[in-house]
Structure 1
Amino acid sequence: MNNNNQAGVPSGPIARFLNFVERIGNKLPDPAIIFLFAMLLIWVCSWWLSGVSFEAIDPRTGQAIVVNNLLEGDSLASFLSSMVKTFTGFAPLGVVLVAMLGVGVAEHSGYINTGLKLMLKVTPKQLLTPSVILVAIVSHTATDAGYVLVIPLAGVIFFAAGRHPLVGIAAAFAGVSGGFGANFIPSGIDPLLQSFTQSAAQIINPDMSINPLNNWAFTSASSLFIVLLGWYITDKIIEPRLKNTPLNEDTQNLPAFDEAKSDERRAFFIASSVMIAGLVLLAFVSAPADSAMRSADGSLTNFRSPLMQSIVPLIFLLFWIPGAVYGFTVGTFKTSKDMIDAMSTAMSGMAYYIVMAFFCALFIAAFSKSNLGALMAIEGAQLLKAMELPSAVTVVGIIFLTGFVNLFVGSSSAKWALLGPIFVPMLMQLGISPDLTQAAYRIGDSSSNIITPLMPYFPLVVVYCQKYVKDTGIGTLIALMIPYSIAFMIGWSIFLLGYWALGIPLGLDASYVYPALP
């Protein structure tokens, strides 16, 4: 995709910069080959640095950090013997494929198509963008559901509304991934981060405890901020840039979004009633204090609870069942083979992603085993500490350093396990609370998600885009998302500083200063 010299496309400095990023990015090899070359580079760097002694202390072990040589015999033997397990154990792979089996049935039966017709009938066109971003933000509650459901559906919704589908994909990606640190609904990420924050704080104060919802008020307010900022960027920067970008010729084969027929409405009502009944049953089963869907501590939202562990299978069932009911009711499915064919078609569209996931899994495993990501994070944090900047500048520095490290270490919990034991005690000694430090971390952790091809779901979003614009490449997607990333990083940092200056509570039992004021 190339928008250069097209009539009606903005030609200012921002557009020229984004076009430059797109051109350079799309000259890179295929994403699968990039992951392969990156893995080989990690191998060489691990060999080169394995003999170097570093003074930085790994907070996970309490020992000086060591870079592991991936080119030594034992490491190469382990690489070969575990290659299949590394690939099949790549978390996003199973999430995507299982969810898409259910979504495939709902899509090819016509259930999703009819649902979108009815939704577009009642949704004002001018509120489509903020609605998509808001839904994307809320999808964090269901772990990775946003990547496999909200982002592709946003493309379909925008296409149905007569807008460019890549605009919808970009807006949803910005909400799901760029706005990962914003949500007004508590989710499993809250207690997960809190556990690392509390452990880090206890290095200074062994008796200190942190409330799992210590950032809830801030993340709730951030939801509104991200929706408004994302809305402006989408409609004023992204959509004008994509205005004249042609779609694939086969887009005429996509479902037509005319008025839903009476039999379609009837089938949709029946299928949706079945889905709602299933949700009611799930709520009934999960409600008791001794429910099997709860974790050992009685929580439903803890990542260790069977309910949260079952999110992806539940997505499969909540699309597969109503999709099948709709298909057999309206007549798009005549036999069970039609339903299986729909699932097969959905899987055929994932072939390219599976290939990319193979190389991505190998790269991420190598990067983790080498300890290079940990070394970068720890050395960067120590440098920030040595600079002894004013409190507000230090907080912003943490945001930007986290955003940089996030380009290489994607897991939110893994990064915080590395950075938390450095950032939290360091800022406590400066009089800054662990609650504020964690809030700053969440901003940096979110803002650069959408511009790094090393993020496990990034190749999947490229595949979504190629459904509409076949020559979409890494550069295309990065160029689309850079305005969001820069705006979120800078705007959200200013938002936090203003929030702090006004003294608005960060969350439950939270404070801005340490020791906390009585």
Structure 2
Amino acid sequence: MSSLTGTDKAASESRLMSGFLNAIERAGNRLPEPALIFFYILLLVMGLSAVLSLVEFDVVNPVTQQAVQVNNLLSAEALTNTLSSMVTTFTGFAPLGIVLVAMLGVGVAESSGFINVALKKMLRVTPKKLLTPMLIFVAMFSHVAADAGYVLVIPLGAIIFIAAGRHPLVGIAAAFSGVSGGFAANMVPTGNDALLQGFTQAAAQLLDSTYTVNTLCNLYFGIASSILITLVGWWGTERIVEPRVSKMTIDGDYKHDGDMTSITPLEHRAFTRAGLVMVLGLAALAAATWPETSTLRSAEGSLTAYGAPIMKSIVPLIFLIFIVPGIVFGLSAGTFKSGKDVISAMNDSMSKMGSYMVMAFFCAMFIKAFNDSNIGTLVALAGADGLKAMALPGEATIIGMIVLTAAVNLLIGSASAKWALLSPIMVPMLMAVGISPELTQAAFRVGDSCTNIITPLMVFFPLVVVYCQRYVKGAGVGTLVSIMMPYSIAFFVAWSLFLLVWWGVGMPLGVAAPYTWAPN
């Protein structure tokens, strides 16, 4: 009877989980495209501004020491300003140029095969006992190549695990946890750092127009987080996921496409040349920044100050670090025959950014309207008054930020879309209670990463399901969610506590990244 009861209980829990996931999927399918979301919210902001401009509020801006007044965006003057500044609002949208420039270089390195061979080499030299942590670590490192991890590391993880005598779905799960669950963790700066920084700075300037956010403001926490996620993912894979997944019968109709871990002599020679060029380039950069009088330093001689030329050159440096070795590799390996092929690779990388650019247009218009209306400042300061009245400790506020982001992530998969929506509210609100934009951004990144791997609405989730079905015919959305749920829970708990501990002991979040803010 106890066995039957246990079976019934498991079946009931399975039905509840299935119902929950179906509800999320239905709700998510009803959401419009991200660009339309921003358009609708833009219209809503304009309408609200007209109504709220008629009300006098007693909320005082701590910077100006004056009562906040909502501006009517439907007035003739405001509408004229919106039309006349529309082009510059779009072209001046901070994340747009940053992302496009970085992707030009990464696109060339990816198209040439340089990144693929680099990832293969990192995986090939790994002892079997360290296969799981290295796969997770490499999956996180693939963030420098945008979505390369989804199309390369995850299917490669399955083949490598088969070669090691382990279940292929375990390899898929471990790689997926690193690529997507550990999205905010990395050992090196990525384009995502620059993307989020643009939104964070714009949001912070709603309350303090002079506030600047360094692109590398979460770098040190991200480096430490990559170690944490590797260890937690390693433990979760071998203690929880693998014992359960190993019972699944491998019955898929997959065909071996050759040894994906092999590297031809030509590719090896090409990678050696490209790697040497990259090392020499980094050495030249180090030599250029070494002198105290270097033009890459700030006027005070600092390399990490926000105004230092090298800090303003992070994205162009990412572009060069990838495009030069990518070209060398492509020409040496024969994947590039001429400069025309290099330009074609750039064209291809830009063609993939079309939907982002459309979203960026409406996002830029929304942020400008939100800024001009003063609604964001009003809501932030009113919310801050509520938080102050509740007298919650800062740690509880940060945990609340992580929970909020993780929940929103189940319906809106794009990190940039989520942060564009949340940052104008949350950054100023937390600034008003003394929490810095840099810490708020770090909390957002933790919450944004943890639930990536359990939401079917994440754009690459269906692709990972297909990877699973190649080996286990009956695998579906529920299968993948159930496999990835332990990672999601473990990452959420461990990462949230880690951020609190990191903050508590005063370890730096990144470059020029304070934990607190106070009006000047």
Q: Classify the TM-score, shorter chain.
A: 0.5 to 0.7
Q: What SS does structure 2 have at the residue aligned with 1:383? A: helix
Match of 1:77 among 58, 75, 80: 80
Query: CA offset at residue 279 of structure 1?
Result: 0.5
Which residue of structure 1 lines up, in the alignment, with residue 145 of structure 2?
149
Which residue of structure 1 lines up, in the alignment, with residue 337 of structure 2?
334
Superposition pairs for residues 92-491 of structure 1, below 5 Å?
92-123=95-126, 124-128=130-134, 130-132=136-138, 135=141, 146=143, 149=145, 151-153=147-149, 155-162=151-158, 168=175, 171-177=178-184, 224-229=227-232, 257-388=260-391, 391=393, 395-397=395-397, 399-400=399-400, 410=420, 418-419=428-429, 422-424=432-434, 441=440, 444-449=443-448
**Which amino acid letter does the alignment assign opposite residue 157 of structure 2?**
A
Query: CA offset at residue 494 of structure 1?
Result: 4.7
Which residue of structure 2 lines up, in the alignment, with residue 429 of structure 1?
none
Identity of aligned residues (%): 40
Determine if contact 1:447/1:486 at 8 Å carries over to the other structure: no
Gaps of 5+ in 1: 1-7, 137-145, 201-212, 245-250, 425-433, 454-460, 513-518
C-alpha distance in 2 between matches for 1:217 and 1:328: 36
Which residue of structure 2 lines up, in the alignment, with residue 208 of structure 1?
none
Q: What SS does structure 2 have at the residue aligned with 1:386? A: helix
**Which amino acid letter does the alignment assign opposite residue 153 of structure 1?**
G
Give the 3 Å change call, closer, same or farther, for CA 334–468 of structure 1 in structure 2: farther
Give the 3 Å change call, closer, same or farther, for CA 313–29 of structure 1 in structure 2: same
Residues 64-117 of structure 1 deviation map (CA, whole Å, 9 limit, x = unaligned) = 222222111121111111111111122222122212211222122221222222
Query: CA offset at residue 280 of structure 1?
Result: 0.2
C-alpha distance in 1 between matches for 2:353 and 2:85: 24
Residues 103-138 of structure 1 deviation map (CA, whole Å, 9 limit, x = unaligned) = 2221222212222221221244412454157648xx
Query: CA offset at residue 377 of structure 1?
Result: 2.0
Determine if contact 1:300/1:307 at 8 Å carries over to the other structure: yes
Which residue of structure 1 lines up, in the alignment, with residue 412 of structure 2?
none
Query: CA offset at residue 352 of structure 1?
Result: 2.1
Superposition pairs for residues 13-52 of structure 1, below 5 Å?
13-14=16-17, 16-52=19-55
**Which amino acid letter does the alignment assign opposite residue 131 of structure 1?**
F
C-alpha distance in 2 between matches for 1:377 and 1:499: 26
Determine if contact 1:109/1:332 at 8 Å carries over to the other structure: yes
Which residue of structure 2 lines up, in the alignment, with residue 431 of structure 1?
none
C-alpha distance in 2 between matches for 1:493 and 1:45: 35
C-alpha distance in 1 between matches for 2:119 and 2:328: 17
Residues 270-314 of structure 1 deviation map (CA, whole Å, 9 limit, x = unaligned) = 011011100000000011111111122222122321112111111
Give the 3 Å change call, closer, same or farther, for CA 343–375 of structure 1 in structure 2: same
Q: What SS does structure 2 have at the residue aligned with 1:300? A: coil
Give the 3 Å change call, closer, same or farther, for CA 358–418 of structure 1 in structure 2: closer
More displaced, 261-270 or 118-127? 118-127
Determine if contact 1:130/1:227 at 8 Å carries over to the other structure: yes
Query: CA offset at residue 265 of structure 1?
Result: 0.3
**Which amino acid letter does the alignment assign opposite residue 358 of structure 1?**
F
Match of 1:66 among 69, 72, 94: 69
Query: CA offset at residue 372 of structure 1?
Result: 2.2
C-alpha distance in 2 between matches for 1:399 and 1:355: 33
Give the 3 Å change call, closer, same or farther, for CA 395–11 of structure 1 in structure 2: same
C-alpha distance in 2 between matches for 1:487 and 1:443: 18
Determine if contact 1:400/1:489 at 8 Å carries over to the other structure: no
Query: CA offset at residue 157 of structure 1?
Result: 1.4
Give the 3 Å change call, closer, same or farther, for CA 507–77 of structure 1 in structure 2: closer
Question: How many pairs does the alignment contain?
Answer: 435
Gaps of 5+ in 2: 1-10, 159-167, 209-215, 409-417, 467-476, 510-514, 516-520
Q: What SS does structure 2 have at the residue aligned with 1:304? A: coil
Which residue of structure 1 lines up, in the alignment, with residue 6 of structure 2?
none
Query: Structure 2 length as normaliser, TM-score?
Result: 0.67
**Which amino acid letter does the alignment assign opposite residue 428 of structure 2?**
L
Query: CA offset at residue 37 of structure 1?
Result: 1.0
- Higher RCO, 1 vs 2 (CA within 8 Å, ≥6 residues apart): 1
C-alpha distance in 1 between matches for 2:486 and 2:47: 34
C-alpha distance in 1 between matches for 2:443 and 2:75: 35
Residues 189-245 of structure 1 deviation map (CA, whole Å, 9 limit, x = unaligned) = 99x99xx9xx99xxxxxxxxxxxx9999988766654554566778968x98xx99x
